Structure 1
Amino acid sequence: MRILDGLDSASGPTAIALGNFDGIHLGHQQVIAPVQAVRHPHPDWTPSVVTFNPHPQAFFSGNYLPSLTPTAEKAELLAGLGIEQLILLPFTRELANLTPEQFVADVLVAQLQARQISVGQDFRFGRGRSGSAQDLQAIAQRQGIPTTIVPLLKHRDLRISSSAIRKALDQGQPDLAAAWLGRPYRLAGCVVPGQQLGRQLGTPTANLQIPADKLLPRWGVYAGRAHLPEQGFRDLPAVLNIGQRPSLNGDRTISVEVHLLDWQGDCYGQLLQIDLQSFLRPEQKFDTLTALTQQIQQDCRTARSHLTAQPSSFA
């Protein structure tokens, strides 16, 4: 997978899925599907995803939200879908001022040598978001480029979208987010030394260094399934705490801590991945370490019960 911060070194001709693609959810996967296997009939075409950096909404508002899938995670997911290059198109004032016709001619045709395009039904582009998916299809057709418009995807009569997944995670509904993503929501990071207070309380935890631009869900305690790729362990039952640890932490920094229920060992410096499955309870402050210890033990029992009753349905 090639990750490009511009157009200069893009491999062409290209088959392009065009959009923002934060999350690579089920709707995004349908937009990507038409370009996944173009190498078979067209061996010289490069299946590509073109997205914008920063997100146009963030560019105009100045509010840069953390991502469901930061760039490295997005690239890994796209590679698994058969995409060979991810092009992060710098969203600048100059790009924002291009008319729809100029965007197609100057970017998609002249620089990316597009031979096929796929977009979602709600895609907007060009100056003032004046161009629709239908406009793109018509303009591209005049250039001889077939364009697929993918209808919006719904689940339980709700449109699947990045914003809906964000809302579900903010409300402590990782199961709903997983249904829309097509996989559990994953937090991953290097295990770094912590205060080791969990070990003193009888529940040693791995402290994860999560990328700064990764969206954290609602603070609290979760049941999840952990993976240690370097040691070959998968689907380890785990309890995860996200928040400021109000009973123990004086500096109020946000931490992500994982207690592995059926594993002991040293994983410092290694990658640990945790797939969220169930929200157990909000974060709360305990007056004594005894009360905290009792609650942690109860969290472990509850998590084990949840994970036993709901085996992982995702590969």
Structure 2
Amino acid sequence: MWITSSPTTVLTPTAIALGNFDGIHRGHQKVVRPILDPVFDSDRVIVRSHLLTGQERSSAHIYPTVVTFKPHPQEFFSGQKRQLLTPLPEKAQILERLGVEQLVLLPFDQNLAALSPQEFVEHLLIDQLQATRISVGADFRFGHKRAGTVEDLKAIAQKFGCEVRITPLHRLETERISSSQIRQALINGDISRANTLLGRSYSITGTVVTGQQLGRTIGFPTANLEVSDDKLLPRHGVYSVRVWTNNDTLPATSPQIGVMNLGCRPTVDNTPQTTLEIHLLDWSGDLYGQTLTITLEQFLRPEQKFASLDELKQQIAQDCLTTRQLVNYPTLPRREDGAS
């Protein structure tokens, strides 16, 4: 997927899904869907691109494009760093899997914030991005002081022959699905609710780094994961997880299941720094330097301080057993050839 922050390097013409899209949850996916429809010609007649070849395909192609802002407008106006459900690498990966061909990151600065609704649509979306279709959620606002509504967008774009699709707010039963709701669920440790609102399991990607290697001394070696500082982490505690790697380190049965501890390790050293450790069930080996992606499947318990390492060991064994039961995973003999 092509990613750019400069309108001068955008692949045009475009069909645009416009918004912040942090999390790319079920509601966001409904906004993205219209730009993935078969391309339209100037008369709004569907052109099946797979029937075209060569010059015809090149001239007919409209690039499905997500247009978002960097930094997040709330971060720009507040001056405070914002933790994200999907930092840029994750956002790009998910969008590419959906079929989006281009991600445009508009630099959100004072100049952009000062544009009137008319200027935002005419100069940016139409002139620079050459939008032929625009898809937004029903609550989208744009222009100086968020003065522009979706009806304003529709009226302005229509003057240039640009179609606007307005997607109703997506609800789960009576509750609106939003990034804010997902963030709060994660902070509360309500992983089931967060995953339901997302439409997939919440994921965390990071690099395995050297830890204190205390886990192996009690029979539960762990991989210590270093995560981007703009990634939103859930409530401190212990979780059942699935683990993927971007290479062949894990066996063909990957993903593996595991138990993740997120917190300050109060029984061991009560460090003020948050650590993320994963114990892989039924597998051990050298993962140092590898990139792992974990998906959170279930919150097991809050982080707690135990009276001894033996009590901690017993609880971890129970956490592993609970994880097997939750994911209906068979008990296999552990390999002992090289703890991580």
Q: Which TM-score applies when normalising by structure 1?
A: 0.94
Q: Aligned-residue CA RMSD in angstroms?
A: 1.4
SS of the equivalent of 2:118 reads helix
Q: Work out the number of aligned pairs and report it.
A: 309
For residues 16-55 of structure 1, the C-alpha deviation after alignment (integer angstroms, 9 at most, x for no partner) is 0000000010100000001114454573211100001111
Residue 126 of structure 1: how far off its partner (Å): 0.5
Amino acid at match of 1:235: P
- Aligned with 1:104 (options 121, 125, 135): 121
Q: Which residue number corresponds to residue 278 of structure 1?
A: 298
CA separation in 1, counterparts of 2:245 and 2:73? Answer: 36
Cα pair distance change 1:29/1:184, threshold 3 Å: same
Q: 1:248 aligns with which of 268, 280, 283?
A: 268
Q: Which amino acid letter does the alignment assign opposite residue 303 of structure 1?
A: T
**Which whole-Å CA distance do the structure 2 matches of 1:112 and 1:249 have between them?**
54
Give the 5 Å matches for 1:111-190.
Answer: 111-190=128-207
| 8 Å contact kept, 1:226–1:235 | yes
The letter of the residue matching 2:186 is L
Does 2:304 correspond to 1:288?
no
Distance (whole Å) between structure 2 residues aligned to residue 233 and residue 184 of structure 1: 19
**3-state DSSP class of the match of 2:295?**
strand
The aligned residue for residue 92 of structure 1 is 109
Task: For 1:31-50, list aligned pairs within 5 A.
Answer: 31-39=31-39, 40=48, 43-50=60-67
Larger Rg: 2
Distance of 1:50 and 1:107 partners within structure 2: 11
Q: Which moved more, 1:198-207 or 1:246-255?
A: 246-255
- Cα separation, 1, equivalents of 2:196 and 2:267: 34
Q: Deviations over 1:96-135 (max 9, x none)?
A: 1111001001100111011110000000001110011111
Structure-2 separation of matches of 1:124 and 1:242:
37
Which residue number corresponds to residue 2 of structure 2?
2
Residue 266 (str. 1) matches residue 276 (str. 2): no
2:12 matched to 1:12? yes
Indicate if the aligned counterparts of 2:265 and 2:271 stay in contact, CA closer than 8 A: no
2:189 and 2:235 in contact (8 A); partners too: yes
Could you say which residue in structure 2 is the equivalent of 1:215? 232
Equivalent pair of 1:124/1:132 in contact (CA under 8 Å): yes
- Counterpart check, 1:193 vs 2:213: no
The answer to which of 132-141 and 300-309 deviates more is 300-309
The range that moved more, 62-71 or 159-168, is 62-71
d(CA) in 1 for partners of 2:161 and 2:245? 48
Deviations 1:263-303 (A, max 9, x none): 12222211211111110111111232122111111211122
Cα shift at 1:186: 0.6
1:297 aligned to which of 310, 317, 321: 317
Letter of the structure 2 residue corresponding to residue 130 of structure 1: A
Q: Which amino acid aligns with 1:30?
A: K
Instruction: Assess if the C-alpha contact under 8 Å between 2:87 and 2:231 holds in 1.
Output: yes
Report the TM-score, using the length of structure 2 for normalisation.
Answer: 0.88
Aligned to 1:23: 23
Q: Which blocks of at least 5 consecutive residues in structure 2 are unaligned? A: 40-47, 50-58, 330-340
- 1:235 CA displacement: 2.9
Unaligned runs of 5+ in 1: 310-315
Alignment counterpart, residue 220 of structure 2, candidates 190, 203, 211: 203
Which region of structure 1 is more displaced relative to structure 2, 122-131 or 251-260? 251-260
Identity %: 51
- The one-letter code of the counterpart of 2:167 is V
Query: For residue 279 of structure 1, what is the amino acid of its counterpart?
Result: F
SS of equivalent to 1:301: helix
Contact 1:15-1:38 within 8 A present in 2 as well? no
